[in-house]
Amino acid sequence: MSTEKKDKEASIARVLKYTGMLGGVQGLYVLLSIVRNKLTSILLGVGGVGLIDMYNRTADLICSSTNLGISFCAVQHIAELYDKGKDAGGAPVPARENPELVEYIRLVRSWVACTALAGFLLTLLLAPVWAYISLGSARHSSMVVVLSPLVAILILSGGEMAILRALRQLRTIALITIVGAFTTLLITLPVYWVMGTTGIAPALVAAAGMLLLMQWYAAQRVVPYRLTLGSWRFLKRGCWMLRLGVGYVLTGIVCSGCELFVRSYIVYYGSMADAGLFAAGLTLTVTYTRLVFTSMDSDYFPRLSATTGDVQRQNIAINRQIDVLVLLMAPMLMAFSLFLPIIVPLLYTRDFMETIPMVYAALFYMFFKAISSPVAYLSLARNRSRLYFFVEVSYSLTFLLTAIIGFRLWSVVGVGIALSISNFVYLAVVWIVYGKSFGFRMNGATLRRCFLYFCILVVGIGSCALGGGTWQSYAVASAATIASAGLSALLLKKEVPMPKRWRRFLSRK
DSSP secondary structure string for all residues of 295-315: HIIIIIHHHHHTTTT-HHHHH
Q: What's the confidence (pLDDT) of residue 452?
A: 95
Give 449's pLDDT tier (boundaries 50, 70, 90). Answer: very high
pTM of the entire structure? 0.79
Whether 326 is covered by a domain: the verdict is no
The pLDDT value given to residue 478: 93
With CA atoms as reference, report the closest residue to 43 among 186, 192, 199, 202.
192
How does DSSP assign 325-386, residue by residue?
A: HHHHHHHHHHHHHHTHHHHHHHHS-GGGGGGHHHHHHHHHHHHHHHHHHHHHHHHHHTT-HH
Is 32 a member of any domain? yes
The confidence score (pLDDT) of residue 9 equals 36
Name the more confident of 412 and 67.
412
pLDDT at 349: 85
249 in a structural domain: yes
Checking if the pLDDT of 3 tops 60, the result is: no
Q: Would you say residue 500 has pLDDT above 90?
A: no
Q: Looking at per-residue confidence, does 257 or 293 come out higher?
A: 257
Instruction: Tell me if 270 is assigned to some domain.
Output: yes
Residue 91 has what pLDDT?
64
Q: How many C-beta atoms surround the C-beta of residue 179 within 10 A?
A: 13
Using the predicted structure, report yes or no on whether residue 293 has a pLDDT greater than 60: yes
CA distances from 38 to 30, 45, 185, 189, 283 (A): 12, 10, 11, 10, 12
Residue 48 has pLDDT above 80, yes or no: yes
Kindly report the backbone phi and psi dihedral angles of residue 86, in degrees, each rounded to the nearest multiple of 5, phi listed first.
-130, 150
The count of domains in the chain is 1
User: Following DSSP, what letter does each residue of 221-278 receive, concatenated?
Assistant: HHS------S-HHHHGGGHHHHHHHHHHHHHHHHHHHHHHHHHHHHHHHS-HHHHHHH
pLDDT (mean) for 365-393:
88
User: Are the C-beta atoms of residues 335 and 393 closer than 8 Å to each other?
Assistant: no
| For residues 468-495, average pLDDT | 86
Is pLDDT at 50 greater than 50 in this prediction?
A: yes
Tens of pLDDT, residues 198-236: 889 899 999 999 999 999 999 988 888 888 888 778 888
Please report which confidence band the pLDDT of residue 501 belongs to, taking 50, 70 and 90 as the band edges: very low
d(C-alpha 390, C-alpha 371), whole Å: 19
> Residues 66-90: pLDDT tens digits?
888 787 777 777 877 877 776 656 6
Cβ(81)–Cβ(100) below 8 Å: yes
Helix, strand and coil percent figures for the chain, each rounded to 5: 90, 0, 10
Report pLDDT digits (tens) over 135-147.
666 677 887 888 8
- Whether 364 has a pLDDT exceeding 80, the answer reads yes
Residue 493 lies in a domain: no
Min mean pLDDT across 132-141, 281-290, 314-323, 373-382 is at 132-141
pLDDT of residue 402: 96
Band the pLDDT of 380: cuts 50, 70, 90.
confident
Note whether residue 333 is domain-resident.
Answer: no
Its domain, for residue 264, covers: 25-316+342-458
pLDDT in tens, 149-187: 999 999 999 889 888 888 878 778 878 888 888 899 899
For residue 14, tell me if it sits in a domain.
Answer: no
**Mean pLDDT score of the chain:** 83
Q: Which residue has the higher pLDDT, 493 or 416?
A: 416
How many Cα atoms sit within 13 Å of 74 on the Cβ side?
30
- Domain annotation covers residue 54: yes
Around Cβ 233, how many Cβ atoms within 10 Å?
A: 7
pLDDT value, residue 81: 80
